[in-house]
Chain A
Amino acid sequence: MGAYILKRLAQTFVVLWGVSLVTFILMNVVPGDPVLLMLERRARPEDVARVRHEMGLDKPRAVQYFEFVAKAVRLDLGRSYFTKEPVTTALTRRFGVTVRLASLAYAIALLLGISMGVAAALKRGSAFDSLITGGAALGISAPVFWVAILLQIVFGLRLAWFPISGIRSPGSFVLPAAALGIRYIASISRVTRTSMLEVISQDYIRTARAKGLAEKTVILKHALKNALIPIITLAGTELGNLLAGSMLTEWVFAIPGMGKQMVDSILMRDLPMLQGTVLYVAVIFVMSNLVVDISYAFIDPRIRYSHGD
């Protein structure tokens, strides 16, 4: 198992290197010049050249890239072109906000998604099941910005239960987390339902019942543990999506997190900030996949033993 984790960690570095290269190339092929965006339109050519030199943008592209990589391995991602703040500092601050938002949404999604999926599977064909599956279809297809605005109108303006923007109090996270989480509640409940339905028709569930076990034990101990395998796959990729995909939610609710940071830096062509953000997001994705693979092994002994332990 240890060797497996080390191997996966080594693969992570290769992926991150690829991500940094692709981001760098993309930023350099799209039109627009950050120096011209920073300076006024009437700036003299010599000033433009001076700023370009100060920012290191007059060096060959390959040199620029290798300088970036050399610093990045020391966790120095450069400074923002505009605020001059070190990228790592800005991202760490904003990452904290996104993590708070995403973990609340994730907790809601896992808790509600799994319990609703299990309940729907156990009541298969009932009105409750139809409600859950219908609601899930709606939850998956509703665009997040629409849900967000709807929540703002109903719970923020009409009922005035929660603030509709900014992060002034812990209550500020409720509506954004709900807006962000609904899609994932829907997708997790659907996968849980399907997976549970498959598992509860298995022979070993009949064996568990034949032993005289209470239905609660049959479902929670014998069925759910088996049903969790596809749920973990989804929950793992969704964790990455949640952290990386909170852009729209953060925009609608004006939350200063990673998502908003990424959009800002694209609009401003703030290359160091953008590269840093993309790298962060890539790290989150790769790490959540790693966590998924490791948790499979904990849940399913067949995977644990196939790695030779």
Chain B
Amino acid sequence: MDTLAVQGVPSLLSVRNLRVSFNMKRGAVRAVDDVSFEVSRGETLGIVGESGCGKSVTALSIMRLIAEPGRIEGGQIRYGGVNLLDLSMREMRGIRGNKIAMIFQEPMTSLNPVLTIGSQISEALRLHEGLGRREALDRAVEMLSVVNIPMPEKRAREYPHQLSGGMRQRVMIAMALCCKPDVLICDEPTTALDVTIQAQIISLIEDLKVRTGAAVIMITHDLGVISEIADKVIVMYAGKIIEEGGKTDVLTNPLHPYTEGLLNAVPRIDRDSDELSVIPGMVPNLAFLPEGCRFRPRCRYAREICRSAPVKASGFGGIAPRGVSCWKFQPAWGGEADV
């Protein structure tokens, strides 16, 4: 069931018309194009899409961690009434790891191999909460036990290579949550882990969210993870949001042909079928986007009208605001012939 407080609750973080581009040799490529969403306290927003659809770039933009040749071209990222894009780097560093924290995909490479676990966690505490070395280390040990790491005192003195993948991701979570952030961004936190560990990490994030009341942005390509943890979902394709809505609405009644294709591609244990459904074709290269709807070349419903950029249709009921960028839901669709 969707637990989200939704309409009426002021959002904690809101992203408006975000545009991010990368300057490549052949010209600028827009990796995130006019992306808008918001997330409230205690809510989990899932962002799904294939590799290269702009999910991670969106997350890194919120932290303002986009590295050259990437550039945030426009839009707003509002947190606590302030547009984060207007802050100086120094002010932004006060937000990172403190108010908005992030967990990355690769626990094996996201921890510094030459620093102890304890020092890597306590670093943020010393920086943002002004704790002394001893005090920060004690809190780091405490955080390790919060994320269910056995023998936390011993582990705090160890180095990343002495820990398993699941354990390292727990350390990443402890590190991200040590300053009690308002927003936790998880960029594919379970992709590199095996299935049982995945489930443990997801339930740990869920549990900590309930305890701290943080808003969570869960980026994943795994619809299973979304169904476990998200309250509302946005589906991205080639840098754009193509569908959004409450988790149950999107997963049980997908509107966009791409979302429909994604859901059909999930193997189902309750269906007797030898073949897996696939979406034909490939994700387009962002430097050579098709005109009009970006999904058009792969879409089984495509018509002539899809050569023009689709307009977002809203409404459709549901708990969370529902929207889809597809001509199928526009009055102009009727009467058009298939391509």
Residues of A whose CB lies within 8 Å of any CB of B are 202-204, 206-214, 221-222, 225-226, 299-302, 305
A226→B97 contact, CB < 8 A? no
Assess whether B104 is in contact with A222, with CB atoms less than 8 Å apart.
no
The B93-117 residues at the A interface (CB cut-off 8 A) are: 93-98, 101-102, 104, 106, 109-115
Q: Indicate whether B63 reaches chain A with its CB closer than 8 angstroms.
A: yes
A206–B124 CB distance below 8 A? no
Interface residue? B175 (CB, 8 A): yes
Further contacts, 11 of them, CB under 8 A, given A206-B65, A207-B112: A204-B112, A207-B104, A207-B110, A207-B175, A210-B63, A212-B98, A213-B127, A300-B114, A301-B113, A302-B159, A305-B159
- Min distance, Cβ B261 to any Cβ of chain A, angstroms: 31
Residues of A with C-beta under 8 A to B113: 204, 226, 300-302
In the complex the two chains form, is B123's CB within 8 Å of A204's CB? Answer: no
- Which of A202, A221, A226, A301 lies at the interface centre, i.e. has the most chain B CB atoms within 10 A of its CB? A301
Query: Are A208 and B112 interface neighbours, CB within 8 A?
Result: yes
B175 — which chain A residues lie within 8 A by C-beta? 207, 211
Query: Within residues 244 to 293 of chain B, which ones have a CB less than 8 A from any CB in chain A?
Result: none
In this complex, the member of A211, A299, A301 whose beta carbon has the largest number of chain B beta carbons within 10 angstroms is A211
A225 contact set on B, CB distance < 8 A = 114-115
A212 and B114 in contact, given A301-B159, A302-B159 (Cβ under 8 angstroms) = no
Q: How far is the CA of A225 from the CA of B119 in the complex (A)?
A: 14
Instruction: List B contacts of A226 (CB < 8 A).
Output: 112-114
Task: Select B124's contact among A212, A302, A305, beta carbons within 8 Å.
Answer: A212
When the two chains form the complex, which single residue of B109, B114, B123, B159 contacts A211, counting CB atoms closer than 8 Å?
A: B123
Residues of B within 8 A of A204 (CB): 109-113
Q: Check: B133 CB closer than 8 A to any chain A CB.
A: no
- Point out the residues of chain A lying under 8 angstroms from B221, CB to CB: none
A-B contact pairs, 20 of them (CB 8 A): A203-B110, A204-B109, A204-B110, A206-B104, A207-B111, A207-B175, A210-B63, A212-B94, A212-B96, A212-B124, A212-B127, A213-B97, A225-B114, A226-B112, A226-B113, A226-B114, A300-B114, A301-B114, A302-B159, A305-B161
The 8 A-B pairs with the shortest beta carbon distances in the complex, nearest first, are A211-B97, A212-B96, A212-B97, A203-B109, A301-B159, A204-B112, A212-B93, A211-B124
In the assembled complex, B128 has its CB within 8 A of some CB on chain A: yes
State which of B93, B95, B110, B172 has its C-beta within 8 Å of the C-beta of A213: B93
Say if the beta carbon of B17 comes within 8 Å of chain A: no
B162 CB–A CB distance under 8 Å: yes
A151 to B141 Cα, complex, angstroms = 58
Q: Tell me how many residue pairs across A and B have CB atoms closer than 8 Å.
A: 70
State in angstroms the CA–CA spacing of A301 and B160 once bound together: 9
A203-B110, A204-B109, A226-B113 known; A210 vs B162 contact (CB < 8 Å): no
For B105, the closest partner residue in chain A by CB is A203
Distance in Å: Cβ of B324 to nearest Cβ of chain A:
33
Q: Which residue of chain A has its CB nearest to the CB of B111?
A: A204
Return the chain B residue nearest A223 by Cβ: B112
B128 / chain A contacts, CB cutoff of 8 Å: 212
| CB pair B112 A210 closer than 8 Å | no
User: Shortest CB–CB separation between residue A249 and chain B, in angstroms?
Assistant: 36
Assuming A212-B128, A226-B114, A302-B161, is B106 touching A203 (CB within 8 A)? Answer: yes
Q: Please indicate the chain B residues that have their CB under 8 angstroms from the CB of A211 in the complex.
A: 96-97, 123-124, 127, 175
A84 to chain B, nearest CB (A): 54
Q: Which residues of B contact A210 (CB under 8 A)?
A: 63, 65, 96-97, 101-102, 104
**Structural contact, A299 and B104, CB atoms closer than 8 A:** no
Taking a contact as CB atoms under 8 Å apart, the answer to whether B110 and A206 are in contact is: yes
Residues of A near B161 (CB, < 8 A) are 301-302, 305
In the complex, chain A residues whose CB is within 8 Å of the CB of B102: 210
Nearest opposing residue in chain A for B114, CB measure: A225
Contacts of B115 in A (CB 8 A): 221-222, 225
B residues near A203, Cβ cutoff 8 Å: 104, 106, 109-110
- Looking at B94, B97, B114, B161, the one whose CB has the most chain A CB atoms below 10 A away is B114
Least CB distance from A10 to B in Å reads 29
Nearest CB of chain A from residue B230's CB, rounded to whole Å: 22
Task: Collect the chain A residues with CB atoms within 8 Å of residue B112's CB.
Answer: 204, 207-208, 222, 226
What A residues does B65 contact at CB under 8 A?
206, 209-210
- In the complex, what residue of chain A is closest to B99 when comparing beta carbons? A212
In the complex formed, the residue of A with least CB distance to B96 is A212
Residues of chain B contacted by A300 (CB below 8 angstroms): 113-114
Q: Which residues of A contact B98 (CB under 8 A)?
A: 212
| B110 partner residues in chain A, CB cutoff 8 A | 203-204, 206-207
* Minimal Cβ-Cβ distance residue in B for A205: B112
CA distance A21 to B95 in the complex (A): 66
- A305 and B162: CB pair below 8 A? yes
State in angstroms the CA–CA spacing of A135 and B293 once bound together: 52
The reply to whether B109 and A212 form a contact with Cβ atoms under 8 Å apart is: no
Chain B residues positioned under 8 Å from A221 (CB to CB): 115
Partner of A299, one of B93, B114, B127: B114
B residues 150-194 touching A (CB-CB < 8 Å): 159, 161-162, 172, 175
When C-beta atoms are compared, the residue in chain A nearest to B119 turns out to be: A221
| Residues of chain A within 8 A of B93, CB atoms compared | 212-214
Residue in A closest to B94 when the chains form the complex, CB atoms:
A212
